[in-house]
Amino acid sequence: MSLVDADTKLLLQSLFTLLVGTIGVMLTAFIIGVLHRGILITNEIMARTAPNLMDLMVALSAPSDVLMGDMKDILHHHEPDRWV
């Protein structure tokens, strides 16, 4: 939405949030991996490391669902004559 609104401050805040979230997830995964070194890697676990087409479709469609929900809230609060 920051690109649509040409809001540089929101874009930088979003990129920072994305970076911090990515680092947080990777750090958490690393810590869990270090703590559980002795767990045997089974076929079920290995199957989850090779996503299929359905996993890709869910990953691509989920953000658009959230954006549509946000846009409905934003547009609902604006006056109708503003969009004419």
Tell me the three state secondary structure of residue 7. coil
In this prediction the pTM is 0.51
Q: Which residues in the chain show pLDDT less than 50?
A: none
| CA dist., res. 46 & res. 36, Å (int) | 16
Sign of the CA dihedral 42, 43, 48, 50? Answer: positive
Looking at residue 67, what is its pLDDT?
78
Per the structure, the complete domain to which residue 48 belongs is given by 2-83
Residue-wise DSSP of 47-81: HTTS--HHHHHHHHHHHHHHHHHHHHHHHHTS-GG
Position 12 scores a pLDDT of 92
Q: How many structural domains comprise the chain?
A: 1
Instruction: State pLDDT tens for residues 22-41.
Output: 999 999 999 998 998 888 88
Look at residue 51 in the predicted model and tell me its pLDDT.
82
Q: How far apart are CA 30 and CA 25, in angstroms?
A: 9
